[in-house]
Every structure is written in C-alpha cells, then in structure tokens.
C-alpha cells in the first residue's frame, strides 16, 4: 500500500434503509457523543449527520457539545476521508462517497455480493468491522483457569478412553464457567448440559460413575444435590477449589507453553448480547406457541458453545430453564443430532460453519422439521445468512428482519433476525459498539493513521481496496 495518509476528516452517518436494514428499523449510531472527544484528540475533524443518534436517544446537541460538526444527509458523505456507520451502506449513498475514501462498517460482503461489486467499481476502500480481530489473541487469567480446570477434570476419562460415555453437567452458567463449558464441548463427551444449581435430586438425569458434575463452589451448589451425587459415586470437580490450589501455577504454565495466537476474537462485536436477545425472543415465541409449557421444563438445545451460544446459555439460565443441552460438532452430525431433536421445544443455533460448508451441510434440516421437531417448537438461528451465504439451518434461506421477524414451516416457528440486539438492546449495544470502534480507530489499533499503517488485525478486514483518491 502507498499514498494513503492519515485520516483527517471523519463522518458519522445516520442509519437508513439499506439491503440489510429494510424499513430503516436499525437505528443505532456507530459512535455515541461521549466517544467524540477521543476522535477529536487525534487531530481529525469529526462530522455527524443530523439525527444520527436520535433513534437511540442521543440528541444533535449532545454531539455539538462534544465538539462535532453537524451536517445534513446531502453533505455528510462529501470529501470525507473516513466514513463510519453501523450497517452496510445504502446503494444510493455509495455514489455520494469520494473515490479513494474509506468506509468502516459491518460490510458482510459474502451476503451482499452485488453491493460489494458496486463499492469496488466506485473505488471505495472498505474495512469490515465484523472482520477486525485481536492481534495477538488475548487470554484472560480467569479464562485460562476455567479451561485448565475442566481439562483436569476430564483428563482421567480421556486417559481411560471413556470420554465417549461421560455425561458432563456444568452446574450454573456464569462468566467463570464459560471457558470450562467451551473446553468440555470440544472434548466430545457423550453429553454436555448446563443445569441450575438449585435443581432438585428428582430432576437430575444422570448420576453415578459415568457422570461428571463441574461446579463453582464460590457460586454455591444445593446441599441436597451435592450429597446425592457424592453417594451415587458421581465425579465432582470444584472450580473454586482448583483455583485456590492450582490457579496461579496453571496460568503460568499455560502462558509458557501457549504463546499467543497471531489473531483472536472479533474486536467489534456484541455477540454475547446477540445470544441473549435471540434466546429471550425464542422463549417469548415458545410461550405463545405452547402456553401450557412451564419454560423451566422446556427441552432446550443449543448448537455450539462460542460467544454467541454462551449469551444464549446465559439468558436461558437466567430465565430458569432447568436443563440446557449443549451440542458440539460431533453431536450435530447427521445420524446423531436426531436423538437430541426428538421432542425438543427450543433450538438455538450458535454454530457457524466454514465458508466451504455453507449451503452444503445443514445441522437442522427441512426433514428434521417434519419428522423430529414437534409442532409449536421454536428454532432461533443466531448465525443467519443469505442465498449466497447459507445458514446451517436449512429452512433459513435468508435472515429475517424486524419487519417480519419469524416465519412458520412444517408447524415450527423459525427466526433468524439480522441484528438480534435490536430487540430491546439498541441503546446499550450502541454504546458498547461505539467504545470498541473508537478503541480501534484512536487507541489500540490506531486506524486513524491510515491504510498504510494498518494493524495486523485490521489489515485482514480490508475487504475492498486499497484504492487511491
């Protein structure tokens, strides 16, 4: 790259109707007023489109007070070096952008190839927010402790080659058990479930030597449950006790033997909130479809155990769902997933697939809807897709939108909303996104320095360009 200087003018534009925002119902703003001074401190001029923050409760005056200059929709795109918005641009707005400028947004080139072609033709540099990642990957001490604790708990079963017959139960979802759930999922036990810490003995589906109960003593566990499991011969593992005796040593050993990966998680994301919002909506739909079903007794299945899926686990746990079945890669294979889909009430998909499998491999098929999933059940697809970038849920031909958030096929209600946090979490996620965006621009990655100086985690997100002015 050459000839791309530091960004001197920044535009924060209003969200309007676009291919992924029918009806203009996405109203979040990419940068909130409190983050404007950080951008100004780089020496750049910051322009904000009139009304950009109104949809999530930020007035034009707040932006003026923060030091930004207001501009009309007709002027906001003109002669700007860096244009920031949340969703991808409308087709009409592309023509208003200066060739060689840089657009920072959720670009989703795979889902909107026609728009990608137009941006290329107009020589717009595009940095896809969803593609920016940590560089290097960040591992917290707490995550390492939880991961190594579960690895220690599973080691005897892996050594004896009995992991395939082991039923793992994580007692209570929490930020401290999150990484442990993830580690258990990718070790392929016979089953993995997250249960409530106050689950009564009669509702425990597994006990005895073929079961492992992983719990956090700091969070508590029912005395009756603990006594029953001890008497049954079940294997018990206390995360809190492990942390006290082995935590510091585990962190030191891990960091010595695991140099940071060059790339890590997404830098600009609300994946956890996506999972929360999707699961919350799923329970609402389930209540409408099955009014006599007590949600705590619902058979809930989550596909995957990544960031999005963890948000769904948290929501279902917070809402009192007694038992959450977590399925990993091997559990979702054809011939095996059917066992878990029988009589299911709620399926939440948080499992993404590599590009080469999209449109070829489906985890939940149209046939499953007809033969295994009961009428009135709900499927929430947190991954979504489009005709050119298909979801692992076969009935989902394209994402749904707030204009029509769900549809019914074979008696099953399905939703694959584009922008789950728009369901009641717009303002709080706008604030979260804004902080992450400004951090990438003016703090850690210093995107403000221009395309010639892109940090490694940002360089891979330049999906269109570089084009010179």
pLDDT of residue 418: 86
Contact 104, 84 (CB under 8 A): yes
User: Residue 466: is the preceding peptide bond cis (ω within 30°)?
Assistant: yes
Q: Do 141-257 and 271-422 have matching folds?
A: yes
- Pull the structure tokens for residue 405: 């958030």
CA angle 424, 427, 430 (to 5 degrees): 120
pLDDT of residue 222: 85
pLDDT digits (tens, 9 = 90+) for 117-176: 999 999 999 999 999 999 999 999 999 999 999 999 999 999 999 999 999 999 999 999
Instruction: Give the domain 271-422 fold.
Output: Rossmann fold (3.40.50)
Distances (CA, A) of 36 to 48, 97, 286, 381: 10, 22, 42, 35
At a CB cut-off of 8 Å and minimum separation 6, what does 308 contact?
271, 272, 274, 275, 278, 350, 382, 383
What mean pLDDT do residues 435-449 have? Answer: 98
The architecture in CATH of the region 141-257 reads: 3-Layer(aba) Sandwich (3.40)
User: Would you kindly state where each structural domain of the chain is located, as residue ranges?
Assistant: 9-135+426-464, 141-257, 271-422
State percent of the chain over pLDDT 90: 91
- Whole-number Å distance between alpha carbons of 299 and 347: 9
3 state SS of 464: strand
pLDDT of residue 3 exceeding 80: no
Distances (CA, A) of 126 to 4, 116, 209, 242, 433: 13, 9, 55, 47, 18
Q: What is the DSSP string of 410-434?
A: TTEEEE-BSSGGGTT-HHHHHHHHH
Contact 407, 418 (CB under 8 A): no
pLDDT of residue 4 exceeding 80: no
- Whole-number Å distance between alpha carbons of 345 and 300: 6
pLDDT digits (tens, 9 = 90+) for 52-63: 999 999 999 999
The answer to whether the Cα torsion of 425, 427, 428, 429 is positive or negative is positive
pLDDT of residue 1 exceeding 60: no
User: Residue 373: is the preceding peptide bond cis (ω within 30°)?
Assistant: no
For all residues of the chain together, what is the average pLDDT?
Answer: 95
Exposed, middle or buried: residue 82 (CB in 10 Å: 0-12, 13-18, 19+)?
Answer: buried
What mean pLDDT do residues 198-211 have? Answer: 95
The sheet that has 462-464: what strands, in order across it? Answer: 69-71, 45-49, 9-12, 82-84, 102-105, 125-128, 462-464
pLDDT digits (tens, 9 = 90+) for 231-254: 999 999 999 999 999 999 999 999
For 185, the enclosing helix (H) or strand (E) is: helix 178-185
- Whole-number Å distance between alpha carbons of 93 and 17: 11
The answer to whether the Cα torsion of 403, 409, 412, 415 is positive or negative is negative
Determine how β-strand 462-464 pairs with β-strand 102-105.
Answer: unpaired
pLDDT of residue 2: 46
pLDDT of residue 174: 96
CA angle 423, 425, 426 (to 5 degrees): 95
Determine how β-strand 125-128 pairs with β-strand 462-464.
Answer: antiparallel
- The band of 355, judged by pLDDT with boundaries at 50, 70 and 90, is confident
Lowest mean pLDDT across 99-103, 143-147, 306-310, 418-422:
418-422
- The band of 370, judged by pLDDT with boundaries at 50, 70 and 90, is very high
Q: What are phi and psi of 463, to 5 degrees?
A: -90, -10
pLDDT of residue 360 exceeding 60: yes
* Residue 401: Cβ within 10 Å count: 18
What mean pLDDT do residues 289-311 have? Answer: 97
Q: What is the pTM of this model?
A: 0.89
pLDDT digits (tens, 9 = 90+) for 74-123: 999 999 999 999 999 999 999 999 999 999 999 999 889 999 999 999 99
Distances (CA, A) of 177 to 171, 279, 323, 351, 378: 9, 19, 16, 19, 27
- The band of 348, judged by pLDDT with boundaries at 50, 70 and 90, is very high
- Whole-number Å distance between alpha carbons of 434 and 36: 10
First to last CA, the chain: 13
Could you give the count of Cα atoms lying within 13 Å of 18 in the half-sphere of its Cβ? 24
The architecture in CATH of the region 9-135+426-464 reads: 3-Layer(aba) Sandwich (3.40)
Contact 30, 58 (CB under 8 A): no
Radius of gyration of the chain from its Cα atoms, rounded to whole angstroms: 24
Contact 107, 88 (CB under 8 A): yes
What one-character DSSP code corresponds to residue 346?
Answer: E
* Residue 44: Cβ within 10 Å count: 18
- Pull the structure tokens for residue 228: 């029953």
pLDDT of residue 386: 87
């Amino acid at each position: 790259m050459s000839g791309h200087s530091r960004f001197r003018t920044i535009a924060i534009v209003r969200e309007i109707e676009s291919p992924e925002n029918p009806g203009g119902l996405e109203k979040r703003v990419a940068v909130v007023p409190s983050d404007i001074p950080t951008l100004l401190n780089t020496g750049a001029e910051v322009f904000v489109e009139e009304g950009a923050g109104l949809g999530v409760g930020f007035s034009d005056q707040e932006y003026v007070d923060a030091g930004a200059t207001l501009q009309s929709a007709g002027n906001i795109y003109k002669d700007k070096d860096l244009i920031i918005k949340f969703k991808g641009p409308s087709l009409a707005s592309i023509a208003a952008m200066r060739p060689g400028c840089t657009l920072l947004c959720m670009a989703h080139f795979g889902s909107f190839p026609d728009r990608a072609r137009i941006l290329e033709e107009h020589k717009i540099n595009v940095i896809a927010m969803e593609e920016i990642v940590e560089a290097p990957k960040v591992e917290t001490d707490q995550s390492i402790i939880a991961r190594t604790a579960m690895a220690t708990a599973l080691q005897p079963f892996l050594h004896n080659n009995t992991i395939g017959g082991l039923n793992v139960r994580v007692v209570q979802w929490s930020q401290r058990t999150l990484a442990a759930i993830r580690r258990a999922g990718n070790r392929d036990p016979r089953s993995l479930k997250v249960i409530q810490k106050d689950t009564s003995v009669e509702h425990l589906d597994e006990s005895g030597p073929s079961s492992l109960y992983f719990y956090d003593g700091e969070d508590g566990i029912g005395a009756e449950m603990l006594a029953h499991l001890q008497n049954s011969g079940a294997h018990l593992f206390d995360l809190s006790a492990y942390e006290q005796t082995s935590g510091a040593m585990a962190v030191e050993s891990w960091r010595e033997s695991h140099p940071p990966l060059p790339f890590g998680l997404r830098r600009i994301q609300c994946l956890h909130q996506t999972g929360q919002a999707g699961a919350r909506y799923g329970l609402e739909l389930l209540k409408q479809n099955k009014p006599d079903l007590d949600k705590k007794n619902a058979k809930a299945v989550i596909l995957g155990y990544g960031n999005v899926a963890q948000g769904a686990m948290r929501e279902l746990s917070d809402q009192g769902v007694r038992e959450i079945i977590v399925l990993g890669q091997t559990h979702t294979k054809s011939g095996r997933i059917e066992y878990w889909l029988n009589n299911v009430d709620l399926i939440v998909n948080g499992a993404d697939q590599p590009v080469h499998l999209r449109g070829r491999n489906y985890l939940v098929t149209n046939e499953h809807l007809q033969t295994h999933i009961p009428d009135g059940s709900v499927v929430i697809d947190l991954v979504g897709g489009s005709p050119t970038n298909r979801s692992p849920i076969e009935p989902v031909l394209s994402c749904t939108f707030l204009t029509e958030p769900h549809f019914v096929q074979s008696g099953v209600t399905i939703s694959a909303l584009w922008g789950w946090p728009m369901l009641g979490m717009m303002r709080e996620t706008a604030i979260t996104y804004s902080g992450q965006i400004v951090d990438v621009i003016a703090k850690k990655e210093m995107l403000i320095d221009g395309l010639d100086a892109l940090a490694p985690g940002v360089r891979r997100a330049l999906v269109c360009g570089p084009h010179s002015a």
